[in-house]
Chains A and B, each alone.
Chain A
């Protein structure tokens, strides 16, 4: 670009396309574009030709056909007469659920381990080193399979809870059951649910009464057992327990407690508002401190602002905990976290945490000792040194690799099929693909879903990264 000493305006020769640096980059790009388009055209024409030969033109119509298979964990209502598309969405939500849970736990464990590895306690440091090396150097697929096998082999089956002298018992005053089918934990339900409370069916009438399968069936939450035929044939409490956030069989008379998405939205909204309020109080305290040099004691007010409104809302809704109970073959009621979810969640989290631990350790070590000493010389207390000096700087080093670990975790969640967790690879890329024989469409959609998720995570985390950077500089 610096060789434009004698611009030959007079004539344009073909050779200039190659020899003139002004045109050369353009030439190269055009050639590259043409080559790229030729390649794409070649691939597409091959595909079209092959598909035509097989008599399977690309057609996404199969997505609206009935899926005909059941999914055990559904965050939105689903039964086997719903479409393949809905089954895919159910799978997608399951993917997101395990990814979010995994990222949170991996961060917590990773930071803890990363800090403990720097601990002055020799034994703890060694154990953490062993942990990190073990998890980093064995494939995650093996860890997932291991976690599943450990859960299955070491926890008691529901049948062990039965009998006069059961071999296993529930924890925390009969409210939590750890079984090899997963963990059953209590679920908050509301006597005055905003989604409406269903009438309790008389226990004797249950086998014949057509229980309403819709309406109060929750939009969020953990578990459902597949209730077929839109009716409930199970005696007693079994029927209501089938709905995700469904009715509880525990209510003695009248309307049953229930929980709906609306309830949770209200609670979350109130909680969010309270948090904002507490922050405003904090800011006010900051201003006061800057003006007068004295900081008013606001901690109790803040705590009250955060918790009192939420507790009031909960009481207004008539909250109570629905405990899991052993009925029939299984526990009923409460939230059922299946062991496929738990195994996948734990394995992915601990695997990723090993990498995060190294990132955190590296990030902390990267901050020079002089920073600590300078901060100490200014008279800061150790915990303030950590939170005001070391951590903001370490975060700058930690966050970019942390983003790629979150991405890895999300992508690794596709290994869910190894333990039968019905994520999007298990529904759209698994049973739907097998049953419809539409490989091309299913795989393309699957890749698209993951691509969108990955890009979203990147965008969000990069935004956060930029914010941290701005704070620092």
Chain B
């Protein structure tokens, strides 16, 4: 009956983890691991594979940051978070960066006191309906039963949309995408609404994807991006410029295939040279080694490669670049200059 000791032992053993101190970079270096908050499972964005390795588009951002800071893309501890627990986990210092398809909103940035460091996916809330319903616009959904995922901005957008258009609906709140999918396929909801990327990913796994259409209305702006705590600008800079490095690399044609060559033989393009650390001292300014961006890009590839690998048109999810194309291709991906 002397087992209360276990608690004591665990307490002693676990108090080694650092707290929400200001210098996150030092903590991460001391720990040798980056703690990264992810989704508990979202197709294409974060999910553990059969070997227990996390894969996905959001996961890739964390791996790039770990590669830049620690030089090892596998030096990441992934902490699965739910819609409820994600912000507390970040605020309490349990995680160093939250990359969990989180919408950048005013109140989260200002009131909840987080720093969004950029956007890795521009999304928007849409509707999916079965083709047989004969609906071509969300405004025809009067009286319909709509499945929504809770714990997100989705339910607020939906309430606003139906209120503005003065039509009625019946919301069915659902905790996970998998259950929403089940209800929708069985006809328990007429429509399913969530981020358009999620809709596409969900539709792709149906037995007959062509029997379902995604309605043209996008009722909200959902810029999804990684975020860190307020008050540690050095750390925010590191995460921000790692993401920017991935985006810039695609713009300049730096890929995981040619990066070794480009890093070894400085090119005539000074921007690339500065990015890859063969010219200037950008890494030093961040408090990182000169080849930080090289490692970040080598972790999984540049932004375009990550997109293609995890959610692009050749994956089951099959998302088009759309808004997420480089600005040179008419998209919104625009990395500030590296100088």
Do chains A and B interact in one complex?
A: yes
Additional 18 contacts, C-beta under 8 A, given A149-B182, A434-B152, A435-B156: A68-B159, A69-B155, A70-B169, A72-B173, A80-B159, A160-B187, A180-B187, A180-B188, A228-B169, A229-B166, A328-B142, A329-B145, A330-B144, A330-B145, A417-B150, A426-B173, A437-B107, A437-B108
Provide the residues of chain A in CB contact with B162, threshold 8 Å. 70, 226, 228
Is B151 an interface position by the 8 A CB rule? Answer: yes
Whether A430 touches B87, Cβ cut-off 8 Å, given contacts A232-B168, A435-B156, is: no
Task: Assess whether B215 is interfacial by the CB under 8 Å rule.
Answer: no
What is the interface of chain A, defined by CB distance below 8 A to chain B?
Answer: 54-55, 68-72, 80, 148-149, 152-153, 156-160, 180-181, 225-229, 231-234, 238, 242, 327-330, 332, 338-340, 417-418, 420, 422, 426, 430-431, 433-435, 437, 439
Instruction: From A156, A228, A327, A338, name the one whose CB has the most chain B CB atoms within 10 angstroms.
Output: A228
Question: Does B29 reach chain A (CB closer than 8 Å)?
Answer: no
Q: How far is the CB of B163 from chain A (nearest CB, A)?
A: 4
Do B168 and A181 have beta carbons less than 8 Å apart? no
A152–B185 CA distance with the chains assembled, in angstroms: 9
Main secondary structure of the interface of B (DSSP, over half): mixed
* Bound CA span A71–B170, Å: 8
Contact mask for chain B residues 84-121; partner A; CB cutoff 8 A; 1 contact, 0 none: 10011001000000000000000110011100000000
Q: Is the CB of B188 within 8 A of A157?
A: yes
- Contact call B186/A157, Cβ cutoff below 8 A: yes
User: In whole angstroms, how far apart are the Cα atoms of A160 and B171 in the complex?
Assistant: 21
The reply to whether the CB of B220 lies closer than 8 angstroms to some CB of chain A is no
| A242 contacts across to B, CB distance below 8 A | 168
Interface status of B52 (Cβ within 8 A of chain A) = no
Q: Does B174 contact A (CB under 8 A)?
A: yes
Q: Given the complex, which residues of A lie within 8 Å of B170, measured CB to CB?
A: 72, 225-226, 330
For residue B123, CB closer than 8 A to chain A, the reply is no
Check if B23 is an interface residue, CB within 8 A of chain A.
Answer: no
Report how far A434 CA is from B155 CA in the complex, Å.
11
How far apart sit A242 and B174, CA to CA, in the bound complex (Å)? 22
Q: Report Cα–Cα, A332/B142, bound state, in Å.
A: 13
- Cβ contact of A181, chosen from B145, B163, B167, cutoff 8 A: B145
A226 to B189: give the CA distance in the assembly, Å.
15
Instruction: For the complex formed, measure the closest distance between the CB of A133 and the CB atoms of chain B, giving whole angstroms.
Output: 27
- Interface membership of chain B positions 177-205, coded 1 if the CB is closer than 8 angstroms to chain A and 0 otherwise: 00100110011111000000000000000
Q: Which residue on B lies nearest to A81, using beta carbons?
A: B163
Partner of B168, one of A148, A227, A435, A437: A227
Q: Are B168 and A420 in contact (CB under 8 A)?
A: no
Report the minimum CB–CB distance from A83 to chain B (whole Å): 14
Q: Which residues of A contact B173 (CB under 8 A)?
A: 72, 420, 422, 426, 431
Name 27 interchain pairs, CB-CB below 8 A, sorted by A. Answer: A68-B156, A68-B159, A69-B155, A70-B169, A72-B171, A72-B172, A153-B186, A159-B132, A160-B187, A226-B170, A228-B169, A234-B168, A242-B168, A328-B142, A329-B144, A330-B145, A330-B170, A330-B190, A338-B172, A339-B188, A420-B150, A420-B174, A430-B151, A434-B84, A437-B111, A437-B112, A439-B88
**Bound CA span A232–B144, Å:** 14
Given A149-B182, A418-B175, also A229-B163 (CB < 8 A) = yes
With beta carbons under 8 angstroms apart, the residue of B133, B171, B186 that contacts A152 is: B186
Closest-CB distance, B130 to chain A (whole angstroms): 9
**Cβ contact of B188, chosen from A181, A225, A234, A238, cutoff 8 A:** A181
Chain B neighbourhood of A181, CB < 8 A: 145, 172, 188-189
A305–B111 alpha-carbon span in the complex (Å): 63
Q: B188–A228 contact, CB under 8 A?
A: no
Instruction: Indicate whether B83 reaches chain A with its CB closer than 8 angstroms.
Output: yes
Residue B8 at the A interface, CB < 8 A? no
Instruction: List the A side residues contacting B87 at CB < 8 Å.
Output: 437
Q: Which 3 residue pairs are nearest across A and B when measured between Cβ atoms? A: A157-B187, A229-B166, A420-B173
Task: For the complex formed, measure the closest distance between the CB of B299 and the CB atoms of chain A, giving whole angstroms.
Answer: 32
- Chain B residues near A417: list those with CB within 8 A: 150, 175
Q: In the complex the two chains form, what is the Cα distance from A232 to B168 in whole Å?
A: 8
A434–B188 CB distance below 8 A = no
**Cβ–Cβ contact A225 & B168, under 8 A:** yes
* A62 nearest CB across to chain B (Å): 10
Q: Quick one: closest A residue to B184, CB to CB? A: A152
CA distance A259 to B139 in the complex (A): 31
Interface membership of chain B positions 305-328, coded 1 if the CB is closer than 8 angstroms to chain A and 0 otherwise: 000000000000000000000000
Residues of A with C-beta under 8 A to B113: 54-55
- In the complex, chain A residues whose CB is within 8 Å of the CB of B158: 70
